Structure 1
Amino acid sequence: MKCDILIKDCTVMTEDYSTPRHMAVAVDQSMVLEVGETKEMEERYQGITVLDGRGKLVMPGLTDGHTHVCQQLLRGRISDEFPMIWTRFLVPFESSLTEEDVAASARLACLQMIKSGTTSFADAGGTHMEQVAEVVLESGMRASLSRSTMDKGEMIPASMKAPAKACIQRTEELYRHYNGKGDGRLAIWFGLRQIISCSDELIRMTGARAAELKTGIHLHLAEHKDEVVYCLEHYHLRPVEYLHGIGVLGENVVAAHCVAVADREIPVMAASGMKVVHCPRANFCCQGFPKTPQFLDRGVTVGLGSDGAARDDVSIFEEMKTIRTGLSAAWGLPVFDSTALPNKDILRMATMGGAAAMQMEGVKGAVKPGAKADLILIRTHAPHLEPTSNLAYTVAETAYGSDVSDSIINGKLVMKERQVLTLDEEAILADAGHRMKQVYERAGI
């Protein structure tokens, strides 16, 4: 039987994080067809494309559950800067971006994500999201995109906000043009930048329209104490309680950060079915330590996000390392519990948790028959990965994005032996470098 791709003689990361060797994975028509021992699989399948998996681990592609691809050109600019980063840098930067700038930034972001093992991402929105959608289709990546939606805020320029009705209409237009494109790789969601910059009218309208279109809502939630104070002053409720009270909180909601969450809010989050995305490197340095172990104990689905390249980079492997260390210190050290956040939970957040947040049919975050073939191959024959008594856990703790050799997204080979097949790396780097200086001058930053 013919199949699109046959990966032979590889090691496979299973759903229980065992790593059997001398395996093969057959991929056909965007799906994982079968996983089995190489000898038996070679007798059954003839791959149109055959990948040599010797010395490599096949694992689910990683999901960046919260990012801002339009901020790629801010890398390094806000490091060591004092607050407020939002008003001093992000607002003038985003409001000055042209369509061409956003396209260049998105290409650079997709290039870095592919090369660091990320196969899908959820973008919370920026300007000119049509350009981002086109780049996603070009790159071969899987993505859910939102417009950055705001209708209030004295420090926010008119170009970045609009009346509630206009906000809804703009997202509906993006939805009509791009939702489901790229053989289902692209989804358009509604966005709410944060409660502070969105009116009660806009939030209610967003919840209602997203439900009607059966699509997602992406927002920053309970990110910092100022948001909690705002909600208490205006609604006499904490952020999670407020959204729950007006009927917006639900299975289609993906909420980034969720750091300033009270214990009493966690059962509400779990019952709603909403998904949480933590961004460890951004959260730990600016907001604090989220209650991830408590979320998981209550059954809340948790994914990982990079929050974009403005503060660091977009490698989910680095987020895995950071959340392990930071939350072990925050929640484990005070009670002498070294397993406050075990590696299996971190791997699940980066794969299955993120896949659940994407809300796309067949996207499972697992290497198993019937799942979408979003897979990465990692070179494990390296001194920081071999030998090991537990390869999956070692990957979670010590692997780097540069260890990823090949990437398959929606059943298509997107990167082979570190060469991205869908994007021109040198042209992208040159264009981004040229535009960065121009954007800074235009934004006055």
Structure 2
Amino acid sequence: MENIEYNADLIIKNCSVLTPDFNVIDDQYVVIKNNYIIDIGNADLLSKVYHSRETLNGNGKLMMPGLIDSHTHTCQQLLRGRIADEYPMIWTRIMVPFESNLKEKDVYISSQLSCLEMIKSGTTAFIDAGGRHMHQVADSVLESGLRGIITCSTMDSGRDIPDTMKSSTEKNISTNLQLFHDYHGTGNGRLDVWFSLRSIITCTPDLIQKVFETAKDCSTGVQSHMNEYPNEISYCLENFQMRPFEYLESLGVLDDHFLGAHSILLSENEIDIIKTYNSKIVHCPISNSGKGIPKTPSLLQKGISVGFGTDGAGHSGLSLLDQMKVFKSLMRAFWGVPIFDPVVMPSKSILEMVTLGGAKAMMREDELGTLEIGKKADMILINIDQPHIQPTHNLLNTLIESVNSNDITDCIVDGQIVMKNREVLTLDEEKIIFESKLAMKELSIRANI
């Protein structure tokens, strides 16, 4: 028997590939070695060049970059279905009792379920907004094979925040630093740790400045919920005579390592500030739709990087494919119809936000967000040989309009297969779902929600 010399770790054969310029090329080989893409090209040609112990059959499938959820709450998975159709204030009546009653085992189960849902819906990387017991989230990410950024929930003020959820500046910083030292760069670089502000309303100026200062010392990022609710704007105007982004600029903390989640209610001056400092923003279309419509066309026109987030299962589930559908309709109805511009938000722009936009939000665009030789092998395969997808005049449009989470067949992160033919290989799906049902019931009683 002829000895075969293996010069690749994984080959995906005969798939269609979404290119960085958003064209689709058929009959491609994608070759992976040492967690990176080392070649992409014609199947007939590359089949003679590369040999691998492991292969995936890509017939009838489209390969595209893994989707990146740039703002989620993995600790809120056990809130699914609870906050829709509720009158204000959801934060004080439901969210605070829920979060303040989370135990370590709840966070672990919730984050396991989050990772499971993300894998099955095509998300390969995410940014967590922070919560309690975040070392449990870290462990879930490492076990799942996903790529993630986590942080602690950082608050030291706020009249509606119980003392159990607030800490001194020193305690907030030390807790986040501990998480950073324990987990930053672990999992072969799949897991990073940032610093965060829960929101400007819940953080004193001293804490805000200390968070940015510590993050800079650690050469890592900072994120915060920004310009999501009118009361945020009112708070800043009443206390500082400035809007939220103007206030952060006045403190001298803004830079290209800052990520502002939501960023719906932006003034023109705030948009200019974001552009000046090359800060990044994230929209969560379904969650945001009840609060306002972001000025995304203007943001993109000014060259500001925009990513997509789900805002956690408490708001909408973790499918970025669902977010894209809703976002296209919102943009067309709110911005397109009044000026008769049916292409105010083309499919290409939306796909770029959920891939490369997410990579920029993670400050990893040199490694993630597109399928290119030399980039990390984070990718998904979609079964496009189905009656609700094929035939199509334009596959990019159909990706937005028709593809759903169940069409994702395979998920590869850092060159490792984490889901194959809809079977998640890294997590015990049956066990996680069973334990999640028990945990939700117990937590609901404990939190009285």
Deviation at 1:248, TM superposition (A): 1.7
Residue 25 in structure 1 maps to residue 26 in structure 2: no
| Counterpart residue number, 2:3 | none
Residue 43 in structure 1 maps to residue 48 in structure 2: yes
Superimposed CA distance per residue, residues 126-178 of structure 1 (whole angstroms, 9 cap, x where no aligned partner): 11000000000000000000111000012211121101121111100000000
User: SS at the partner of 1:44?
Assistant: coil
User: SS at the partner of 1:204?
Assistant: helix
> For residues 435 and 316 of structure 1, what CA distance do their matches in structure 2 show?
25
Residue 312 in structure 1 maps to residue 296 in structure 2: no
Residue 131 in structure 1 maps to residue 144 in structure 2: no
| Counterpart residue number, 1:335 | 339
Give the AA of the match of 2:267. Answer: A
Deviation at 1:343, TM superposition (A): 0.8
> For residues 9 and 196 of structure 2, what CA distance do their matches in structure 1 show?
36
Residue 153 in structure 1 maps to residue 158 in structure 2: yes
Contact 2:356/2:365 (8 A) holds in 1: no
Superimposed CA distance per residue, residues 332-354 of structure 1 (whole angstroms, 9 cap, x where no aligned partner): 11000011111111000000000
> For residues 150 and 266 of structure 1, what CA distance do their matches in structure 2 show?
26
Choose which of 375, 384, 396 in structure 2 pairs with 1:380: 384
| Counterpart residue number, 1:7 | 12
Give the AA of the match of 1:55. Answer: G
Residue 277 in structure 1 maps to residue 282 in structure 2: yes
User: SS at the partner of 1:337?
Assistant: coil
Give the AA of the match of 1:194. Answer: S
User: SS at the partner of 2:48?
Assistant: helix
Give structure 1 stretches of 5+ with no counterpart: none
Runs of 4+ in 1 over 2 A off after TM superposition: 360-364
TM-score (norm 1): 0.99
| Counterpart residue number, 2:443 | 439
Superimposed CA distance per residue, residues 92-124 of structure 1 (whole angstroms, 9 cap, x where no aligned partner): 101101100100000000000000000000000
> For residues 392 and 47 of structure 1, what CA distance do their matches in structure 2 show?
31
> For residues 131 and 45 of structure 1, what CA distance do their matches in structure 2 show?
40
Residue 191 in structure 1 maps to residue 191 in structure 2: no
Give the AA of the match of 1:43. Answer: K
| Counterpart residue number, 2:397 | 393
> For residues 189 and 365 of structure 2, what CA distance do their matches in structure 1 show?
9
Question: Equivalent residues in 2 for 1:1-150 (5 A)?
Answer: 2-150=7-155
> For residues 65 and 172 of structure 1, what CA distance do their matches in structure 2 show?
22
> For residues 417 and 364 of structure 1, what CA distance do their matches in structure 2 show?
23
| Counterpart residue number, 2:245 | 240
Deviation at 1:393, TM superposition (A): 2.4
Choose which of 176, 181, 187 in structure 2 pairs with 1:176: 181
> For residues 262 and 399 of structure 1, what CA distance do their matches in structure 2 show?
35
User: SS at the partner of 2:373?
Assistant: coil
Superimposed CA distance per residue, residues 338-394 of structure 1 (whole angstroms, 9 cap, x where no aligned partner): 111111110000000001111237432111101111000000011111111221221
Contact 1:356/1:363 (8 A) holds in 2: no
Residue 229 in structure 1 maps to residue 234 in structure 2: yes
Question: Equivalent residues in 2 for 1:284-363 (5 A)?
Answer: 284-285=289-290, 287-360=291-364, 362-363=366-367
Give the AA of the match of 1:190. Answer: F
User: SS at the partner of 1:288?
Assistant: coil
Question: Equivalent residues in 2 for 1:420-431 (5 A)?
Answer: 420-431=424-435
| Counterpart residue number, 1:263 | 268
> For residues 53 and 373 of structure 2, what CA distance do their matches in structure 1 show?
19
User: SS at the partner of 1:330?
Assistant: helix
TM-score (norm 2): 0.98
Give structure 2 stretches of 5+ with no counterpart: 1-5
What value does the CA root-mean-square deviation take over the aligned residues?
Answer: 0.9
